[in-house]
A and B are shown apart, each in its own frame.
Chain A
Amino acid sequence: MTKWGMVIDLEKCTGCQACTTACAMENSRLPGESWQDVLFYHEGTYPNVKLSWLPRPCMQCENPSCVAVCPTKATYKTEDGVVLVDWDKCIGCKYCMIACPYGVRFYMDEKPVVQPDLREVFPGDGDRIWNPPYKMPDHLEDRKKGIGIQPKGVVSKCTFCYHKISKAPKGVADLDEDDPQTREYVPACVRVCPPKARYFGDLDNPNSRVNQLIADKRGVRLKEETGNKPQVYYLAGGGAPVIPGERSRGRG
């Protein structure tokens, strides 16, 4: 059975945010509330400052705490290893947001992060929270999978662009934007990455590129201590920690 996973090479990532922008366009996200974000960290004080960054999609955990805590099973895991939200079952209790160690879930009804409030500029029809000019075609929307424009009063998250990857040919090991056979099925953030720092493929296939990279370059997962077992791996050169801690940044 396919188990989709992602590898992000931090030695190649330039922090350009093309992934963030592509995700926002593909999934109709409000500015500042993108499912895929790049977090920036700085350590030290001027002039001895180190800036680092971490692209952060949903980790699509193998053992997701958000799925376990959802009282209505609105959050669930598909057979091919992706965590999705059924917007028709979500009650908006936000326990999944509380229980996600990676902070990758969003409730779109909060105060706007940037002004003007685009929900007022492009008001939504029906229970859609807004009606952006760059939305995906209506026929691709699927409320049962949390794909499309988010309705009011529910939680949303990165779907690994499930509307694309779920249509990929069966048994394919990797979804590579350079391969004309699979290009259309590649998640938006992977497809647009200028330095090709992202790879997407089947973690259950020993011949997949993602598995080779994880093995060859010692891929690591974030917050292993939680037992969530992310399906997103980072290549960090093997030495430095992937993200600096609060205490190492002198903010603790």
Chain B
Amino acid sequence: MATATTLRAAFKPSPYLIGSAVLFVLAFVYAIYLEVTLGHVAFNTTNYGVFWGFPIVAYDYFLLTSTGLALVASLPLAVGIRSWDPVAKRCVWLAIAALVGGVAILFLELPHPLRALWATPINLQTASPLFWKILCVGAYTIVLALLAYAFGAGRGPAEVPRILAVVLGLLALAITLIAGSVYGMLVFRPFWFGSELPVVFLIESFMGGIAFFIFFTYAVHGFVADNLSENTRRLLAGPLGIAAATAVFLHLLFVLTRTVTGLWSYGEGMEVWRYTIAQPLYWLALIGGGLVPLVVFALPSLRAQPWLQMIGAFLVALGLLASRYEFMINGQLVPPFKGSWAPPLLEYAPSQLEWVLLFVGIFLANTIYAALESWSSTRER
């Protein structure tokens, strides 16, 4: 009791925590206001073809970033790469934050989120990838909470039960691969269909995880490289930077090969590729979110520059969101079976509420992360 009181007294919310929390509350209240006053028409989805809009893009983005961070964390925790120890705890905090942010967006988008909690596990629709995804995300949440508890109890990465880390890594892997299958299995949606998609999702998830870790590591140290420990700095300029470069390179390879194959394809529905490459967003994501960070992370001289690393990581995170938006929205733009009176390609742009939901996710994730960092440092003190 006395310890809890002491901890509460020692806990000082940082300006980052307070700012994030205030912004989250504002965004959340506004989102609820829009949902209550306008209802579902506040979303720009339609019955013509764009069934999953920007909130689902954002949800998947946050969820897969979380699994990417968990994969990165599981390397030191499960495999025992001790030089990566500084990575583990921050990655777990960030994974929790991204997960909460993503699930919050989903719950605000879904009309019956609570029904999903009981109807999914008890009906055992094992043929559905979403069934497995929901089940795995539930288990993943529990494992992350246990890890947070272990870290909170003062255990270092080397003292965390290895089985917990192994299960975390396996669940993160499963969620990412299943998320890819949700789209890759749909044979009559040629823009999405393909057995390579789960692997693409895995690489992009890993890439996002590393980028978020790099960016937030600098952020919590006030964007001053000198504040970082020598070990962390070496890690960022060395193995982590190289891992980031490799992941970005593979991501670019997949984007380019899918684009070229898509443009050459005669299949109906693949005409959306011509639309895709005509969009500035495609080139911004490719060059700004892919090529530039690749150069930054691949060249040793640039990789050693903290500011460039921060910018590179930030660009990867932004480019990944743009890339995921293009993948998910453009995959729905060809209306299925709607006749001549539907346009050849549907139009979609996120509504005000859909943008607000993204910010709800961002600010909530930042609030959770800031709270976990503050709590962790209080416990350490």
Contacts and interface: CB of A to CB of B under 8 A. Distances in A.
A102 B337 contact: yes
Interface string A89-131: 1111111011111111011011111000000000000000000
Contacts of B131: 71-72
A145 B30 CA distance: 36
B80 interface: no
A40 to B, nearest CB: 5
Contacts of A103: 49, 335-338
A249 B338 CA distance: 14
Interface string A23-60: 00000000001000001111000000000011010000
A6 interface: no
Interface string B106-131: 00001111011001100111011111
Contacts of B37: none
Nearest to A89: B119
B108 to A, nearest CB: 13
Interface string B40-66: 110111110101100000000000000
Given A73-B123, A103-B336, A93 B110 contact: yes
A97 B189 CA distance: 12
B326 interface: no
Interface residues on A, range: 35 or more
B268 A245 contact: yes
Nearest to A223: B188
A91 B111 contact: yes
B111 A98 contact: no
B130 A92 contact: no
B337 A68 contact: no
B52 A39 contact: no
Contacts of A152: 40, 111
Contacts of B15: none
A91 B119 contact: yes
Interface residues on B, range: 35 or more
B52 A94 contact: yes
A170 interface: no
A69 B128 contact: yes
A40 B339 contact: yes
B344 interface: yes
Interface centre among B43, B113, B334, B339 (most CB of A within 10 A): B339
B187 interface: yes
A166 to B, nearest CB: 23
B46 A56 contact: no
A71 B130 contact: yes
Nearest to B111: A153
B116 A93 contact: yes
B200 interface: no
Nearest to A226: B188
A246 interface: yes
A73 B131 CA distance: 10
A237 to B, nearest CB: 20
A68 B125 CA distance: 8
Given A89-B123, A107-B47, A99 B113 contact: no
Contact of A33 (B47, B51, B52, B336): B47
A3 to B, nearest CB: 21
13 contacts: A39-B339, A56-B337, A68-B125, A69-B128, A71-B116, A71-B128, A71-B134, A72-B115, A72-B123, A95-B130, A99-B186, A113-B47, A251-B271
Interface of A: 33, 39-42, 53-54, 56, 65, 68-74, 89-95, 97-104, 106-107, 109-113, 152-154, 223, 225-227, 245-247, 249, 251-252
Given A41-B339, A112-B41, 20 more contacts: A56-B337, A65-B186, A68-B128, A70-B125, A72-B119, A72-B131, A73-B125, A90-B115, A91-B115, A91-B119, A94-B51, A94-B52, A98-B332, A101-B336, A103-B336, A103-B337, A110-B45, A110-B47, A226-B187, A249-B340
Which 10 pairs of residues, A with B, have the shortest CB-CB distance? A153-B111, A39-B339, A109-B40, A92-B111, A72-B119, A71-B130, A73-B123, A103-B337, A103-B336, A101-B188
Interface of B: 39-41, 43-47, 49, 51-52, 110-113, 115-116, 119-120, 123-125, 127-131, 133-134, 182, 186-189, 266, 268, 271, 332, 334-341, 344
